[in-house]
Amino acid sequence: MRTLTKPAELEEIEQSIDLILTIDEITSLIEPIGISALSTRKQEWLDEIINYHNEMSQNKRLSHNGRVDFSKFKVQLEWIYNNPSVRRKTDFIKKIRDCYVNNGILCPYCGVSPCRTLDHYYNKALLPQFSFLPANLIPCCGDCNKDKGIKKSFGKWKRIINPYYDNYDSLLPDEPPIVIIFKENPFPNVDMSFVVIANNKLTSIVRKHINFHLKKIRIGLLHQEMISNSFWRNAKQLRLYKTLHNSNQISVQAYDTLIDNLITKNSNINYDWEYIIRFSLFKIKINHWIYNSTLDKLQ
Ligand SMILES: [Zn+2]
């Protein structure tokens, strides 16, 4: 869950794409064998592309029912995706990938590694008609592309996030879509455990998507060190403010100002752990054990 940063040159690439022309070119050629049979189904194909945009914008997912069956052409369409060419007017596939890779844009799924590849949000073997549709091509790192597997986009409830179509508008501007629940751990040498989950202010379906995503991409594990470091630093800071406040060493107004400054508003959806952790520690009651804990690291 990281906002996908679009490199500046992407706009020019996108403007140069004309899928009607691309489909004309593809179906006019004899290679790969069998592709020319699609020349009688061009309108159907273009309608599917329009439907993709409409359904994704409205429902954030494609319906299973009524999908045009292009599975007969999956080998040919996969070949076309794997062999971008100027002649077929599919060179935009390579250009899109290169512009994310060359600009070192971070993977929107995990937020850790740079983009290396394009993920077919809807798998190209199951829905080959979208095998080179730019809206279905999500730049991501190699690990996320490998982990995602085939069916993880199709479920109504169980699907990973989509950086092109998902939004978290139901949250207030200062509420992050993900929060962390920390648990004081009584075992020696462990001190604390945590779980990263969707903010419960989101609608239940969006929460399900985020939680499914966080689990599939193993966010807690990937970001463990960053989360842990940030936790101890911020928990200590909050305890200090609380102590000053409780012992009347600072005024209520001063305390509020300190807290406001700590929880700076941040409307992006990136894994901004400092912000997410401060928000989680202060706003989520279950995390308030940090104020009374006897853990050495919090003293
Ligand atoms: Zn990734």
| Spacing of C-alpha 229 from chain mean position | 23
CA of 103 to the centre of ligand 1 (A): 15
How confident is the model at residue 147, as a pLDDT?
A: 67
CA of 115 to the centre of ligand 1 (A): 7
CA of 217 to the centre of ligand 1 (A): 8
* Cα 256 from Cα 241, distance rounded (Å): 10
How confident is the model at residue 154, as a pLDDT?
A: 65
CA of 219 to the centre of ligand 1 (A): 10
Q: For 94-105, how does the pLDDT look when each residue is reduced to its tens digit (9 = 90+)?
A: 999 999 999 999
CA of 280 to the centre of ligand 1 (A): 24
Structure tokens at 88: 């077929």
pLDDT at 140 over 80: yes
Beta carbons of 4 and 163 less than 8 angstroms apart: yes
Q: How many CB atoms are closer than 10 A to CB 297?
A: 11
CA of 139 to the centre of ligand 1 (A): 9
DSSP string across the chain: --PPPPPTTHHHHHHH--HHHHHHHHHHS--STTGGGGGGGHHHHHHHHHHHHHHHHHHSS--STT----GGGHHHHHHHHHS--TTTT-THHHHHHHHHHHTTPBPTTTSSSBP-EEEESS-TTT-GGGTT-GGGEEEE-HHHHHHHTTTTTT-SSS----TTT---TTS-TT--SEEEEEEE--STTT-EEEEEEE-TTS-HHHHHHHHHHHHHHTHHHHTHHHHHHHHHHHHHHHHHHHHHHHTTSS-HHHHHHHHHHHS------S--HHHHHHHHHHH-GGGGGGGT---GGG-
DSSP string across 24-88: HHHHHS--STTGGGGGGGHHHHHHHHHHHHHHHHHHSS--STT----GGGHHHHHHHHHS--TTT
CA of 119 to the centre of ligand 1 (A): 10
Looking at residues 261-271, what average pLDDT do you find? 74
Of all residues in the chain, what percent carry a pLDDT higher than 90?
Answer: 70
Structure tokens at 78: 């996969």
CA of 44 to the centre of ligand 1 (A): 34
pLDDT at 157 over 90: no
CA of 141 to the centre of ligand 1 (A): 4
CA of 148 to the centre of ligand 1 (A): 10
Place of tokens 């983009």: 115
Burial zone of 230 (CB within 10 Å; 0-12 exposed, 13-18 middle, 19+ buried)? buried
Looking at residues 234-241, what average pLDDT do you find? 95
Burial zone of 15 (CB within 10 Å; 0-12 exposed, 13-18 middle, 19+ buried)? exposed
Q: For 123-132, how does the pLDDT look when each residue is reduced to its tens digit (9 = 90+)?
A: 998 899 999 9
Higher-pLDDT residue of 183, 272: 183
Beta carbons of 46 and 18 less than 8 angstroms apart: no
How confident is the model at residue 112, as a pLDDT?
A: 87
How confident is the model at residue 188, as a pLDDT?
A: 72
Q: For 47-104, how does the pLDDT look when each residue is reduced to its tens digit (9 = 90+)?
A: 999 999 999 999 999 988 878 999 999 999 999 999 999 999 999 999 999 999 999 9
| Mean pLDDT value across the chain | 91
CA of 117 to the centre of ligand 1 (A): 10
> Which amino acid appears at position 227 of this protein?
I
**Picking from 16-25, 91-100, 158-167, 248-257, which range would have the lowest pLDDT averaged per residue?**
158-167
Beta carbons of 216 and 227 less than 8 angstroms apart: no
- CB burial of 179-198 (b: ≥16 within 10 Å; e: otherwise) equals bbebebeeeeeebbebebbb
CA of 240 to the centre of ligand 1 (A): 37
Looking at residues 258-275, what average pLDDT do you find? 80
How confident is the model at residue 148, as a pLDDT?
A: 65
CA of 118 to the centre of ligand 1 (A): 11
How confident is the model at residue 266, as a pLDDT?
A: 64
How confident is the model at residue 137, as a pLDDT?
A: 97
pLDDT-derived band at 163 (thresholds 50, 70, 90) equals: very high
CA of 67 to the centre of ligand 1 (A): 29
pLDDT-derived band at 174 (thresholds 50, 70, 90) equals: confident
pLDDT at 151 over 80: no
